[in-house]
Structure 1
């Protein structure tokens, strides 16, 4: 017999904010015998499109660079993915596929990756998968990166696969203008694009996944409507010489990759990748969720305690029109609050006094982490999402907040008095082999989190018999805090009270 890896591989979808998500998609992978047989796990497995050969190391198997769609080049640029051409013989799956075209962080001054033949995925399995009876959960990771940068291969999934006993699929997807450009001529030809909160709301995604984990990107975030996105598309088209009155779609398909990426950078607003309009995403996900018109699957949703320490140093201040200085003074901090909140600034200052933090800049980051900007990763925006997702009768939602302020930072700002804490992205090394090695205390937290995440993928519930109970979200205290022992540990926290969410909601009232 031979075991076939399903085309969509899966059971759970996972994703991290400003672009990433984890879904349990389609059906589970089933265990069984392979052609190679024997005591050692086989390195050749059979997919619907052909056989692939991977590698075996440290208790897991890895298959890399497997194409899941035809190369989106030439006339297929901007079009929905076409089926991959099946192959004869055994395809080598020991090397990574090409990254999708993208600029180089952090300054985006260069565009080193321009290969559009990039639609590939990587599969990590426990070594003992074959010969086992029954189904194995499959988790699909949609990487983050503002829908502009990143690859699936950045995320070494052996921790999830081996310790959680699941199959993990990491994917590349078209980024920037090649994946998210909306322009009137293209829209007329191509239809839609979309990621986890959007998938929950998308009618065309129903039945493709069984659970959803949305990380650090609130499902109440509002996306651009089609006219707004198409106006940005016209700006991109003009920047690459595809002016109105020509065959704009054909011209855009012939434009240079680097030109397109640079034009997209000039037109892009943060979070402005997804578009509401068309059959894939006909309404705002927030509106669909509020109306109970979303996929009826269990959802895990959460953020990090100090999300916006990552974004605050580069945020444009209302009071000055420039990013905050590392030596922001208490007076400048107060002036910024006044510029943002007017006659209610004193109320904000009373809740976030500068002298309660290591520096005024860190106080400003606390304000932004609770309320934004950017709002889509803020704590209170996530609380809004928990309420909306759990409102329909019997909807099962599990909320969390990652709170380890000793975590390795995704971005390290050398500012005095600016501890970055549990900033955006700092949760990733607790699920993937990524970044600096974890301390023993962090390893213990990581082990618990991996088991929570993979139990959710398997059953739709994250609860474990030998870990703190995680209650489904019904009220404010049902957010599971995830911290190292000695700093709060693992257990329920009242996140809305801690982040003054009722107060921030009152400021938003007309």
Structure 2
């Protein structure tokens, strides 16, 4: 059944109503031309039918079904009977900055359970969203953190329009997973987003999710060279999308072993759109008044180790450990993980997961807590009865599968081309707990009773473990934590000694 028209700043929209939830899909929040900042969409006067997902952002596997000029749309789910302004969950999808879209996340179930307003968005991906071409002049001067500005434009749209759909614009929670979590952390700490959200959740944020300007410039230079456009770089704006993505793939292979995160793209610390390193901003207290939930999956790296060939982030993470602590430090850590392996655990995977995912997330939690902010930490240890998790364990995205499930079923993911399926009783129990915690967080600003899940605090570094049964643990104990701490202390001590020696020589 079609809904009544709802007014927006661009024009009225009509959605579809089913099972007590209204859905508005493919609502344009901005328009764009290649390598240019997004602008408001062209307004309309007649009610626009928004019952189908909008065009995907161009990405590998979907270059033939994508539309780069009209991909900036969002989707809204709202309970049919709204008697008060409802909290808003604003979802930023993941996909390594090169894949994904809002169509993979059906908010019907969460909207009804909340009750809450669920918003999922698209933003430009790969070279169209992250290629920093501003140094190449001409019309390319605007090509600077375009994907980040897309997300900010969607946030602005939601803040201006969500009340018309029954939402409370002053009760909006930024929520992202993987690359989307990097976006949340990067943008939540910037002045442009201040006052437009009140809470934040980041699941599986990569340890090094911010890209330096130098790296972004090198990627752009190499892509231009690969396309043989050094003498006329502006021609990249007219390059066929498949050819542009093929050049990026080639450059990715060239640079894979030289990047800190094993990937080409990410939000760029450019001094303008992202003017400050997010971790430093959190330590300075920028999010002191923002309740913050940070989560990860137990076996994050399993998916990347099992890819063919293994993902570049595997080599990047090992290289970072060896650079930080030396070959002896790497061997000491690996020996520790082998000696403390639980049943069925791959010690290499556990070491890499801690280095790239778990420890950086815990460090962000420490920074938020030390600055006086409220923060909760979680880990997802449940193995969903759905591939690839059934064979690989609670690897990257396992929490996502349960969060967006329409209990008692997992949902299809059309962009990822993953099928859903029936859930086990264990899946249902863990998913229900996760969904309830997320909904409570966006409504009340806490994920659970303090006695069941206390805040993460200095000298009481509690972490919630989503498994059967739900339980609490600590990240600041155990032999693995001790070895990491000892190695970090030695590196810090060596650095301080060298500073003192240099000061003495200079004096």
Matched with 2:229 is 242
Bigger RCO (CA 8 Å, 6+ sep): 1
Matched with 2:377 is 399
- SS of 1:46's equivalent? coil
Matched with 1:120 is 73
> What is the TM-score normalised by the length of structure 1?
0.75
Matched with 1:471 is 454
The question of whether the paired residues in 2 share the 8 Å contact of 1:305 and 1:422 is answered with: yes
**Does the alignment pair 1:96 with 2:53?**
yes
CA shift, 1:259, in A, is 1.5
Matched with 2:473 is 493
Match of 1:224 among 211, 228, 234: 211
Matched with 2:249 is 265
Match of 1:207 among 171, 178, 195: 195
**What's the Cα RMSD here?**
3.2
Aligned residues: 424
Show the 5 A alignment for 1:420-435.
420-433=392-405, 434=411, 435=420
C-alpha distance in 1 between matches for 2:288 and 2:246:
36
CA shift, 1:349, in A, is 4.3
Matched with 2:503 is none
Show the 5 A alignment for 1:67-106.
67-70=28-31, 72-73=32-33, 77-104=34-61
Matched with 1:278 is 271
The question of whether the paired residues in 2 share the 8 Å contact of 1:389 and 1:397 is answered with: yes
**Does the alignment pair 1:185 with 2:136?**
yes
**Does the alignment pair 1:456 with 2:419?**
no
- SS of 2:12's equivalent? strand
Matched with 2:358 is 379
C-alpha distance in 1 between matches for 2:389 and 2:131:
28
C-alpha distance in 1 between matches for 2:465 and 2:122:
31
CA shift, 1:505, in A, is 4.0
CA shift, 1:41, in A, is 9.4
C-alpha distance in 2 between matches for 1:146 and 1:499:
32
C-alpha distance in 2 between matches for 1:386 and 1:322:
23
C-alpha distance in 2 between matches for 1:404 and 1:49:
43
**Does the alignment pair 1:65 with 2:43?**
no
The question of whether the paired residues in 1 share the 8 Å contact of 2:77 and 2:118 is answered with: yes
CA shift, 1:316, in A, is 7.1
Show the 5 A alignment for 1:30-41.
none
**Does the alignment pair 1:311 with 2:304?**
yes
- SS of 1:500's equivalent? helix
Q: Greater helix share, 1 or 2?
A: 2
C-alpha distance in 1 between matches for 2:343 and 2:217:
44
Give the 3 Å change call, closer, same or farther, for CA 316–43 of structure 1 in structure 2: same
Give the 3 Å change call, closer, same or farther, for CA 427–402 of structure 1 in structure 2: same
CA shift, 1:147, in A, is 0.7
Matched with 1:437 is 422
Give the 3 Å change call, closer, same or farther, for CA 421–159 of structure 1 in structure 2: same
The question of whether the paired residues in 1 share the 8 Å contact of 2:14 and 2:47 is answered with: yes
The question of whether the paired residues in 2 share the 8 Å contact of 1:43 and 1:56 is answered with: no
Match of 1:165 among 101, 111, 115: 115
Show the 5 A alignment for 1:355-374.
356=341, 362-371=346-355
Give the 3 Å change call, closer, same or farther, for CA 406–168 of structure 1 in structure 2: closer
Give the 3 Å change call, closer, same or farther, for CA 256–470 of structure 1 in structure 2: same
**Does the alignment pair 1:50 with 2:11?**
yes
The question of whether the paired residues in 1 share the 8 Å contact of 2:304 and 2:314 is answered with: no
- SS of 2:26's equivalent? strand
The more displaced of 307-316 and 450-459 is 307-316
CA shift, 1:59, in A, is 2.6
The question of whether the paired residues in 1 share the 8 Å contact of 2:337 and 2:480 is answered with: no
**Does the alignment pair 1:198 with 2:190?**
no
